[in-house]
């Protein structure tokens, strides 16, 4: 095991170093505009005991099927107007599967410090880190706390097609400043994400499953955050409302029939705080996600009431080395599936409690290596993705899982 991990670290670092020698941030000239080109790539390895995790066969020898990359272009048209876009691709076990997507593409027009507009496919401001999930190099952790930022749902959360109004307002009497964002538009989900993957296996029973061909719908919400006069202190709250419809086909014992589902209610509240000073930082977030969905063409109702929170912190031990830890608490009080109008069944407790320690080493300003240990109590097996999938655990779930995550990141 030690030789395998050592070989992975050496191989990943060598690959990143070779890339670094060839790639740096590029500046292109298009007419009178200077276009900046940036990109990133990460390679991960995950080993677990107890259960396979994140759609990978991680139990035993582990899995290196954990790769993603992005490339973005941007230019400043004038003092107020900026445009940019990013293409993204990944392979996370059975997710992504090397089907590239337009991660974001937006026009940003800043009228005043207190008033700006963004449009097209815009990153969704939700909590501390949702719109920064593609900045792995700057994060302390190999995996953000999964109770609030599940990596298998990245494509669902990262952006919306529509527009934002945003700005920063300085408060009187030295009370700090308030940043606000309000947005509306549409969510258009990637068909190689966690939810389509889950339902394709969830009701299979050896005879097939649900194959989604589309999923999305209207979204609107906002974020309000206060930068306190105490330097380094930030508190805020986010809200998003969604009405999601999905369609596809379902295999019923060899007979393929049309399939539809739609939201009766779907929303998420998130509250957060962060404090950073000198070499250390601490943060915490609380998330409640309610999803009340009619499935099977309206013949079955599924309710997810997810409560997730974490507390986290990191300390810069030396210029290139940072240590961190967090506790992540995920709980989904999910009633069993019911026909409309039938008595509600007893709730099934779906939970994951994850204790994490991590170390991050910056090889240079382009390359970082993270080594992280997860000690997970529970393996939430509900009707919505939460990391553990029956497809990779056909004999059922063990109550506890220990995981080693190693992730090498390159950014230019």
Give 175-207 pLDDT, tens digit per residue: 999 999 999 999 999 999 999 999 898 654 444
Whether 138 has a pLDDT exceeding 70, the answer reads yes
| Lowest mean pLDDT segment, chosen from 47-61, 140-154, 226-240, 335-349 | 335-349
pLDDT at residue 277, rounded to an integer: 94
> Which bin fits 55, alpha (ψ -120 to 50), beta or left (φ > 0)?
left
pLDDT at residue 385, rounded to an integer: 86
Task: Give the pTM.
Answer: 0.90
pLDDT at residue 230, rounded to an integer: 94
Model confidence over 320-335: pLDDT tens digits? Answer: 999 999 999 999 877 6
Q: What is the mean pLDDT of residues 205-215?
A: 77
Model confidence over 265-289: pLDDT tens digits? Answer: 999 999 999 999 999 999 999 999 9
pLDDT at residue 64, rounded to an integer: 97
pLDDT at residue 340, rounded to an integer: 62
Report the CATH fold assignment for 2-411.
Porin (2.40.160)
Whether 403 has a pLDDT exceeding 70, the answer reads yes
């Amino acid at each position: 095991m030690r030789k395998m991990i050592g070989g992975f670290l050496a191989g990943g670092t060598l690959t990143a170093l070779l890339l670094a020698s060839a790639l740096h941030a590029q500046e292109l000239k298009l007419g009178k505009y200077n276009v900046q080109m940036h990109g990133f790539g990460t390679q991960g390895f995950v080993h677990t005991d107890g259960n396979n995790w994140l759609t990978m066969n991680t139990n035993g020898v582990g899995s290196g099927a954990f790769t993603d990359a992005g490339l973005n272009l941007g230019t400043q048209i004038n003092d107020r107007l900026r445009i940019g876009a990013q293409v993204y691709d990944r392979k996370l076990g059975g997710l992504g599967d090397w089907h590239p997507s337009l991660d974001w593409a937006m026009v940003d027009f800043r009228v005043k410090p207190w008033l700006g507009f963004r449009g097209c496919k815009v990153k969704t401001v939700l909590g501390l880190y949702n719109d920064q999930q593609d900045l792995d190099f700057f994060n302390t952790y190999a995996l953000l706390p999964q109770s609030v930022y599940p990596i298998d749902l990245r494509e669902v959360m990262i952006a919306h097609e529509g527009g934002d109004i945003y700005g920063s307002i300085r408060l009187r009497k030295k009370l700090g400043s308030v940043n606000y964002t309000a947005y509306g538009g549409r969510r258009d989900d990637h068909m190689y994400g966690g939810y389509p993957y889950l339902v394709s296996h969830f009701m299979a029973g050896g005879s097939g499953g649900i194959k989604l061909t589309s999923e999305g719908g209207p979204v609107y919400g906002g974020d309000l955050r206060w930068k306190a006069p105490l330097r380094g202190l930030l508190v805020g709250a986010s809200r998003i409302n969604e009405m999601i419809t999905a369609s596809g086909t379902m295999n019923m014992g060899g007979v393929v029939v049309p399939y539809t589902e739609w939201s009766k209610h779907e929303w998420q509240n998130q509250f957060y705080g962060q404090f950073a000073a000198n070499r250390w930082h601490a943060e915490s977030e609380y998330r409640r996600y309610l999803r009340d969905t009619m499935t099977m063409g309206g013949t079955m109702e599924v309710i997810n009431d997810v409560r997730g929170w974490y507390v986290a912190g990191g300390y810069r031990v030396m210029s290139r080395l940072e240590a961190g830890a967090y506790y992540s608490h995920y709980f989904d009080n999910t009633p069993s599936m019911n026909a409309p109008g039938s008595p509600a069944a007893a709730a099934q407790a779906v939970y994951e409690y994850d204790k994490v320690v991590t170390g991050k080493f910056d090889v240079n300003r382009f390359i970082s290596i993270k080594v992280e240990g997860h000690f997970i109590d529970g393996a939430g097996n509900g009707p919505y993705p939460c990391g553990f999938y029956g497809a990779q655990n056909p004999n059922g779930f063990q109550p506890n899982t220990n995981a080693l995550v190693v992730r090498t990141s390159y950014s230019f």
